[in-house]
Amino acid sequence: LLGGEWRRGPGPSLRAPEPWGGLPRGRGKRRQQSFVSKLRDKYGPVYTVYLGPRPVVVLCGLDAVKEALVDKAEEFSGRGKISIIDKIFQGYGVAFSNGQRWKTLRRFSLATLRDFGMGKRSIEERIQEEAQCLVEEIHKTEGELVDPTFFFNSVTSNIICSIVFGNRFDYRDKMFLTLLSIFNETFTLMSSPWGQLFELFSGIMKYLPGVHRRVHSNLEYVNNFITQRVESNKKSLDPNSPRDFIDCFLIRMDKETLGSEFHMRNLVLTTQSLFFAGTETSSTTLRYSFLLMLKYPQVAEKVQEEIDQVIGQDRPPGLEDRTRMPYTDAVIHEIQRFSDLLPLGVPHIVTQDTHFRGYFLPKGTDVYPLLSSVLHDPRHFKRPDSFDPGHFLDARGNFKKSEAFLPFSTGKRICLGESIARMELFLFFTTVLQNFSLASPVAPEDIDLTPRESGIGKVAPPYQLRFLPR
**Structural domains counted in the chain:** 1
The pLDDT tens digits for 266-287 are 999 999 999 998 899 999 999 9
Q: Which of 17, 4, 67, 27 is nearest to 47 (CA)?
A: 17
Residue 114 is assigned to a structural domain of this protein: yes
Residue 31 is assigned to a structural domain of this protein: no
How far apart (Å, rounded) are the C-alpha atoms in residues 179 and 310? 37
Residue 144 is assigned to a structural domain of this protein: yes
Residue 282 is assigned to a structural domain of this protein: yes
What distances in angstroms separate CA 394 from CA 286, 302, 465, one per listed residue?
A: 25, 17, 32
Residue 403 is assigned to a structural domain of this protein: no
What's residue 196's pLDDT?
85
Cβ burial, residue 208 (10 Å; 0-12/13-18/19+): exposed
- Range(s) of the domain holding residue 120: 85-340+411-469
Residue type, 40: R
The pLDDT tens digits for 167-200 are 999 999 999 999 999 999 999 999 988 888 898 8
Residue 55 is assigned to a structural domain of this protein: no
What distances in angstroms separate CA 319 from CA 2, 300, 329, 418, one per listed residue?
A: 50, 19, 11, 15
Backbone angles phi, psi at 466, to 5 degrees: -110, 135
The pLDDT tens digits for 237-256 are 999 999 999 999 999 999 98
What's residue 265's pLDDT?
98
Q: What does pLDDT average to over the chain?
A: 90
- The secondary structure of 137-163 as a DSSP string is HHHTTTT--B-THHHHHHHHHHHHHHH
Residue 395 is assigned to a structural domain of this protein: no
How far apart (Å, rounded) are the C-alpha atoms in residues 332 and 399? 11
Residue 307 is assigned to a structural domain of this protein: yes
The pTM of this model reads: 0.91
In the predicted structure, residue 407 carries a pLDDT above the cut 50: yes
The secondary structure element, H or E, covering residue 438 is: strand 436-439
Give the domain CATH number at 172.
1.10.630.10
How far apart (Å, rounded) are the C-alpha atoms in residues 250 and 247? 5
- How crowded is residue 131: how many other Cβ atoms within 10 Å of its Cβ? 23
Question: What's CA 155's distance to the chain center, in Å?
Answer: 16
